[in-house]
Structure 1
């Protein structure tokens, strides 16, 4: 069994559960993201996921952190935490993106990863005059795109003539200075996504869902054709952990009530979404707060209950738990102090907790 890793979603577009929470004013600034990731590293978190949106998917007038420029800056400021930048293939030519990835790999000295995601927000593309391909065609495009990127990341010379790209004698350097290539994550739960994850990624990100559903997805992925080392698994989840289950459920009810205030913005977001995206279909089956399944994973309860559920997911095959909290930094500290020790991780240093804002 692999080691449990914990990560946090960077606050690239503000709070994950409710945008009108008095305990966490909306803040998607570079300053807030930098402080959050630096604190997460100090607390012992292993990874941070920097989601990619060129425009805010929910609040058109509000801030939205740019993922790749910010990931490069975070790579320079940090020393241990893994920096995972999401990427929508249609926004960058594979040669350009591979060079950006290798540069951040150099800056971070081998701590960079990319997370390929199939875009769901039609408006983000169409308002910029960019083509928004049909769902399965986006994955076919992404598979060809990733085939080129993966080889360039390894420092190979790439000659490729395909449906979408022609690349002749291209090689990027430096490459392979710290490891064979950066790690590749993939998100998405449709049939094409599962095939692509099994064939071409290192880690498959699963959206927050109850344990039986997650276990079924993992077994399905393991049964698909694959070369090389086995596929590993990550899970998105929103955590509410307290001394007692009653306290956790009370906080959950508070966030549910606040999330209702965002209903008009969520409706506008759904209007721009591709109805064929399986993530949205799956999430419609569950009541939850957060994004990407959020509390549907069931990490709401006492410290002991949350730790036990994490172990159950881990035994099913989940290695990396990519976590959301609200208010983010206070709850991130609470989780590190109370849940880390319960799953065999070292607790953070008390001076850091008491002195942090």
Structure 2
């Protein structure tokens, strides 16, 4: 599937444009004000996913949060046969499920999708159990290596610090017979080393264009030292309206009922609320102007009530396209976008932005 070329990206290689399914109780009309109609549920998240499919998005992130919302793997299996063209970017927490069973689940869902599964690797703590950052990332690397081996249809004989396993692959295989692309993000040195060693797509959170460029350069160097290459994705919120003034007003309205105590409580709910990436999002808010803008069209107000990606691209269609193009020139191959409420903003992006982008799913390895 490919979108129409044009806009600021005319003539350039296509990028992947994904949306966000809000499985983790992250949907609001006013940030910090719970709305039962926007709570994570099968019906609500299904509607977002199918809207993104209709609008022409290439992929959709199905996030995972134990205390928040519904299960991502069960949701993926349920929604897969309802989709037509969109890929599913399924978030899975490394260490949470028995590896052979996880591989069989992933292969089965990929088959239901007709080969449209992609995997978002999560290195957060397992619910009910904490592990220091360094060993947690060592565990993540071992799990990624073994999961890829099983999904490539190869036998495993692995005896590591966290995985001790000798087993043949399951008979259930992906449609291609190979592991789907592994998307992975993290800002600590340990996380970056894991990505350089085992990921296909490195995901970064909102930052200045220069900051994203530095991250891309660093990760290219780390992967290159291992004889590998990476593609790069940016996870960001977006607020697009017909005019710049309307977009900025929509951003201000979104946080108009948010108090600092409620925002802090929401940020603390996440298992990764003290990570290096979250600290960088806090730094962006601290360096922003009085209206919350870290640089032109990059608004950090969303981070007041969100632990993860904490900034939004805000502007008119031309401004949003220009910002996306600036990130593309910095090395970004894929965008995972979201907005509040997710269904309404999905439709706006589909109307104002997607038709002017040259976009398509990232190529498989």
CA 1:2/1:153 → structure 2, altered by over 3 Å: closer, same or farther? farther
Aligned: 1:18 with 2:34? no
CA 1:139/1:33 → structure 2, altered by over 3 Å: closer, same or farther? same
Between stretches 36-45 and 325-334, larger displacement belongs to 325-334
Alignment correspondent of 1:170: 168
CA 1:37/1:228 → structure 2, altered by over 3 Å: closer, same or farther? farther
TM-score by length of 1: 0.85
Between stretches 1-10 and 42-51, larger displacement belongs to 1-10
SS in 1 for 2:95: helix
- C-alpha contact (below 8 Å) 1:311/1:343 kept by paired residues: no
CA 1:188/1:335 → structure 2, altered by over 3 Å: closer, same or farther? same
Please list, as runs of the form range in 1=range in 2, the aligned pairs for 1:32-47 lying within 5 A after superposition. Answer: 32-47=44-59
Q: 1:30 aligns with which of 36, 42, 51?
A: 42
**Count of aligned pairs:** 328
Distance in structure 2 (CA, Å) of the matches to 1:262 and 1:110: 44
Between stretches 150-159 and 172-181, larger displacement belongs to 172-181
CA 1:207/1:170 → structure 2, altered by over 3 Å: closer, same or farther? same
CA 1:271/1:3 → structure 2, altered by over 3 Å: closer, same or farther? closer
Task: Summarize deviations over 1:159-200 as a string: whole Å, max 9, x none.
Answer: 111111211132222325325221111121111111111111
Please list, as runs of the form range in 1=range in 2, the aligned pairs for 1:205-284 lying within 5 A after superposition. Answer: 205-226=203-224, 230-258=229-257, 260-261=258-259, 263-264=261-262, 266-267=264-265, 269-270=267-268, 277-284=275-282
Flag the structure with more relative contact order, 1 or 2, with Cα contacts below 8 A and sequence separation at least 6. Answer: 2
Spell out structure 1 runs of 4+ moving beyond 3 A: 225-229, 271-276
CA 1:339/1:177 → structure 2, altered by over 3 Å: closer, same or farther? closer
TM-score by length of 2: 0.83
CA 1:181/1:320 → structure 2, altered by over 3 Å: closer, same or farther? same
- C-alpha contact (below 8 Å) 2:104/2:173 kept by paired residues: no
| RMSD between superposed Cα atoms in Å | 2.3
Distance in structure 2 (CA, Å) of the matches to 1:210 and 1:45: 24
Aligned: 1:96 with 2:97? no
CA 1:205/1:89 → structure 2, altered by over 3 Å: closer, same or farther? same
Unpaired runs of 5+ in structure 2?
1-11, 286-299, 361-365
Residue 249 of structure 1: how far off its partner (Å): 0.8
Alignment correspondent of 2:159: 161
Alignment correspondent of 1:335: 349
Please list, as runs of the form range in 1=range in 2, the aligned pairs for 1:1-357 lying within 5 A after superposition. Answer: 2-12=13-23, 13-15=25-27, 18-20=31-33, 25-56=37-68, 64-119=69-124, 125-126=127-128, 131-178=129-176, 180-226=178-224, 230-258=229-257, 260-261=258-259, 263-264=261-262, 266-267=264-265, 269-270=267-268, 277-287=275-285, 288=300, 289=302, 291=306, 292-296=308-312, 299-344=313-358
Residue 344 of structure 1: how far off its partner (Å): 4.2
Residue 211 of structure 1: how far off its partner (Å): 1.0
- C-alpha contact (below 8 Å) 2:110/2:175 kept by paired residues: no
